[in-house]
Structure 1
């Protein structure tokens, strides 16, 4: 995953589907009288300014221009580059005779300034910088033929690529790749940020994401409810409830972690330790007798209980204010019996790992739980393939929430959070590829449970929890992403929470 770089931390929070941005564009033109040609000029100028700032040493560029408005933006860049004494080659794809409206005007202005246009056959081997102005946000079918060849040649080139609005071949709404897609060093998005830039494969293909609203009136955004919104720890950390000076541990929740079958004790331990570091008042772990006596040897703050049979959970469930069920639970007789006992108690619940796999075998709907599936678990819950989940993560999240109720966290690059009501889906901006290691999900389960225990509503706790988890992973990755383990992440929780407390 390519991170969104510091320069883009001031991006708008709101995310839109492609059709919504087209509607915003229409409103700017039809209701506010901004000519389409002027919007295209602004887009091209913004992109050219970014190009010059990011690659100031570049003396030439190649513009790959399609036959639509995305190509029109490319022609504006080409004209500005020509005026700036940069070497420019415009290579066209698609039927150039179909250019119309603002795009046609932009192409004619470029030619009138002395620029030349040639059909794409191959990418120049000495290309210094490439502008992807091929397709934009309207693509719905896989790239083939010359389009796919252009993408492949871009991948073989060493030249960095600036994508206009969205990398060609990337689906604007879902972040899936349609056969092939440009891997950009930077992407500049116009008027409204697209959902697909930030989840699925979007972060891998977009590079640095930048934005320009093209000076459209702010009132146009009132016409569209965002499809989603970006969240991060810098924002979410401010939402944590303040701790009263007279507080005691009973004010911050009593979490019962249920899990840790034979050979999987570490999962329950990680969930419990992450919950403690995230501020929950007390943590008890109900686990298999085979390892209960040694589970807390290096973390005595954890209260560990050997549970051989489900009936032994009764007293523990009565004391707990919430439960984290699933880390290392297993799916054999022991895990199944504990799972049923916990669900019968109807205690507020964070359900993960084998808890989700058991739920997939016997689906039910509840309002007082948080489900935290990764794509494989989501596929089992929906009775589909992992590929189908990843094809449209927003749709998969919606189906999960509708089928199972409560709050759903769909983990992955650009983790998504959804809950009941009309709140737009949240897309987490924190996290890095170093977190693709064992135990990370167990820690997230503990973190979300801890925030619920401290008084946050489940959906707010899930949103803050995924951001805290990702931000802790980012802090741990300052020593390097490769080799990062979940214990490194847990160690980073307290410093981050301390900074958040100072900001509240």
Structure 2
């Protein structure tokens, strides 16, 4: 039995993981009970490594294969001399196949089980083996009571395959869900751990392929791909020694209505720190004269009328519109002028809200909505967007074209390609702060101007943004501000400090 595998970049829906299981069993001759025993052993090794002082273990098992994994863990723990309370939910007589065999093996080894009534107050560790990937309806009754009890106690929780109550595909909470300290998942990484509420409930994610052969995965296209900065950093190649600023892209940021000049300034400075050779901000004349006082590298032009954008656009390699744009006549006029241009374009903030009012589709832009803007683009509620974020990002892309970045915990990127959507697995709650989205707009525009295609610029920009947020959060998440992200960009973009 191998140790844990590195966290894969391929993510799957529940039905796809069941198909991977079936391929391993039927085409590669690995008995189902062997896969279950491998899963239980991987989970047990993990809990011993993570919580080596835990001596009193409580395992909650359901009546499916997830419960069967729990019985393996309980049997191994007893054999290792740990005190085990095995709490069964649902009628154990309904266990079938490998789960029934696993329960019988636990009993043959001297283990006892009891129906769940309450959790023992003196447990050191809880193993959640209630529900696996098949949950499709809200958790109610005694099952909900058990999850509530798990979340109310202080002991750490190891979730088997998926925190019980979390939807495997959407990451939605099905009434109640376990808040796990760690989740160990098997065969295929479930996409619900990385979208929706998954990041809130999963804890640390660890993975075991259960030694399934590589050929098991050849017949199934992942539903999502997980991306992170370590992977995406390779998009930023060292510059030629002969490079000059004209080679590195001229970004034009358009926005900054009165009272909102900071948004355009943040986007512009982020673009500079991401390597743009030149950055111009086209902004309202009321503050154009002083917008760059503390950052003289930014060029600033006051624009009172849409036509004044024309010479600025002619000199730019990429446009970014939206930060601080507003929806007054001034902002609307700029948007109506810019949307007719053929220069590569990044669209954010109020430019997205204006797009929602008068929809159109373009193949070459990058749209960066947060859930509220996504809801307006789709004509639905924010709750509906959050209920199935992978579907929402795909639907926005289908309607509006280009590349779509659906921001939030587990930011999603969808391009018009044959590849699955991407989800960024980095970032932190400290990034929920004013201006963080403007920084992302500047990053994507700068990378687009340096030669990356729209999807690559979006994926690399999102991951650089998340990595900068994680770097900044080393000083604490609460109180992190958007400027802290900008300060972290330069060493990350140059891979300084990597070992």
Cα displacement (A) at 1:241: 3.3
Task: Calculate the aligned-residue CA RMSD, in Å.
Answer: 1.4
Instruction: Note if contact 1:331-1:358 (Cα within 8 Å) is conserved in structure 2.
Output: yes
Asked if 1:372 is matched to 2:376, the reply is no
Give the structure 2 partner of residue 92 of structure 1.
Answer: 88
- Choose which of 127, 136, 142 in structure 1 pairs with 2:132: 136
Cα displacement (A) at 1:157: 0.6
Whole-angstrom CA distance in 2 between matches of 1:237 and 1:10 = 18
Whole-angstrom CA distance in 2 between matches of 1:44 and 1:238 = 37
- Choose which of 402, 424, 431 in structure 1 pairs with 2:420: 424
How does the TM-score come out when normalised to structure 1? 0.97
Instruction: Note if contact 2:5-2:209 (Cα within 8 Å) is conserved in structure 1.
Output: no
Give the structure 2 partner of residue 3 of structure 1.
Answer: none
- Choose which of 216, 220, 223 in structure 1 pairs with 2:216: 220
Give the structure 1 partner of residue 190 of structure 2.
Answer: 194
Instruction: Note if contact 2:4-2:208 (Cα within 8 Å) is conserved in structure 1.
Output: no
Cα displacement (A) at 1:217: 1.1
Whole-angstrom CA distance in 2 between matches of 1:256 and 1:430 = 28
Asked if 1:126 is matched to 2:122, the reply is yes
Instruction: Note if contact 1:183-1:205 (Cα within 8 Å) is conserved in structure 2.
Output: yes
Cα displacement (A) at 1:117: 1.0
Give the structure 2 partner of residue 70 of structure 1.
Answer: 66
Instruction: Note if contact 1:242-1:501 (Cα within 8 Å) is conserved in structure 2.
Output: no
- Choose which of 462, 466, 471 in structure 2 pairs with 1:470: 466
Whole-angstrom CA distance in 1 between matches of 2:415 and 2:44 = 40
Cα displacement (A) at 1:272: 0.3
Give the structure 2 partner of residue 355 of structure 1.
Answer: 351
Whole-angstrom CA distance in 2 between matches of 1:81 and 1:8 = 19
Where structure 2 has 5 or more consecutive residues not aligned to the other structure, the ranges are none
- Choose which of 72, 77, 80 in structure 2 pairs with 1:81: 77
After superposition, residues 190-339 of structure 1 pair within 5 angstroms as 190-339=186-335
Whole-angstrom CA distance in 2 between matches of 1:500 and 1:102 = 50
Aligned length: 497
Give the structure 1 partner of residue 173 of structure 2.
Answer: 177
Instruction: Note if contact 1:8-1:208 (Cα within 8 Å) is conserved in structure 2.
Output: no
Where structure 1 has 5 or more consecutive residues not aligned to the other structure, the ranges are 1-6
Whole-angstrom CA distance in 1 between matches of 2:80 and 2:329 = 73
Task: Find the residue that maps to 2:218 and give its secondary structure.
Answer: helix
Whole-angstrom CA distance in 2 between matches of 1:434 and 1:489 = 10
Cα displacement (A) at 1:346: 2.3
| Deviation sequence 1:94-137 (CA, Å, 0-9, x none) | 22211011000000010111111111111112222111000111
Moved over 4 A (4+): 500-503
Give the structure 1 partner of residue 48 of structure 2.
Answer: 52
Task: Find the residue that maps to 1:91 and give its secondary structure.
Answer: strand
Give the structure 2 partner of residue 387 of structure 1.
Answer: 383
Structure 1 residues 9 and 46, CA gap change in structure 2 (3 angstroms) = closer
Task: Find the residue that maps to 2:346 and give its secondary structure.
Answer: strand
Task: Find the residue that maps to 2:239 and give its secondary structure.
Answer: coil
Cα displacement (A) at 1:9: 9.6
Whole-angstrom CA distance in 1 between matches of 2:498 and 2:303 = 41
Task: Find the residue that maps to 2:285 and give its secondary structure.
Answer: coil
